[in-house]
Amino acid sequence: MNYKQLIKGILIIISYFFGANFIAALFYRLIEDNIIPNYHNFYYLLVYLIMAIIYILAFNKSIIKDIKDYKKNYKKYIKVGFNYYLKGVFIMIVSNLFLSYILNLSKSTNELTNIEMFKSSPYTQAIIIILLAPIIEELVFRCSFNKMTLNRHLFSFITGTIFGGIHVLSSLSNPIMILMLVPYSAMGVALGYAYKDTNNICTSLIMHIIHNSITLMIIIIGIAGGII
C-alpha cells in the first residue's frame, strides 16, 4: 500500500470539509455584516460550485485524459459501470431491508437531513444532488486515492468504507447505527471497482450521477405521495 497516497487522500477529504465550512462561514459573516443580501440557498449552492471547481482544477489533467479515453471506450465502460452499479444497488436494498425490518433501524440522520433540505429548497438541492455532489465526491474519493494501491479490492473497500463512514457519521450517537455503514458503503465500493477496472473517473462519475438522479426521483415521488 502507498501510505503517502492514503495520507494525501485523507488530507484532501479533510480539506473538503474545512474548505466548505470556511467558505460557508465567510458567506454567513458577510450576511451578518449586511455586505451581501441573505440568499441562503444560493450561497449554499455556490459553496458546492466553488468546491467542485477547485477539485476539477486540481485533477484537470487526469480528467481531460479520462474524457478522451471514455469517448473511445464508452460502450465497454458503460457495461462495466452498470455491472458494478447493479451489484451495489442489490447490496444496498438487501442490507437496508434487513436493518429496517429485522433490526428496526430508521434512516440515518444524513438521509433525513437531505430530505428536509430538498423540501425547503428543491431546485438548489437537485443541482447539488445530481451534479455537484457526484463530481466532488468522485474526485475526492477516487482520484485522490488512485495511486494508494494497485490492489483493486483494497482500493475499493477502503475508499468505499470512508465514503460510507462520512455519510453516517452524524448518526453514530446510537452505536448500532454503525451497521448503516453497509448500505452506505456498498455503492462507494461498487463505484470504486468501476473506477479501478476502467481506470477512468467518467465511469464511476456517470454511475454516481445516475444513482443520485434515481434516488432523487424516489424522494420526489415519496413527497408527492405523502410517504416521506
Q: Per-residue DSSP letters for 128-177? A: IIIIIHHHHHHHHHTGGGTTS-S-HHHHHHHHHHHHHHHHHGGGTTSGGG
C-alpha cell at 117: 433540505
Q: Per residue of the chain (228 residues), what is the pLDDT tens digit?
A: 777 777 877 888 888 888 888 998 998 888 888 888 888 888 889 999 999 999 999 899 999 999 999 999 999 999 999 999 999 999 999 988 888 777 666 666 567 677 888 888 889 999 999 999 999 999 998 998 888 888 999 999 999 998 888 877 766 666 677 778 888 899 999 999 999 999 999 999 999 999 999 999 998 998 888 776
Rounded (10°) angle between helices 133-141 and 201-224:
140
Contact yes or no for 148/1 (Cβ under 8 A): yes
Domain boundaries defined on the chain = 3-224
- Residue 193 one-letter amino acid: Y
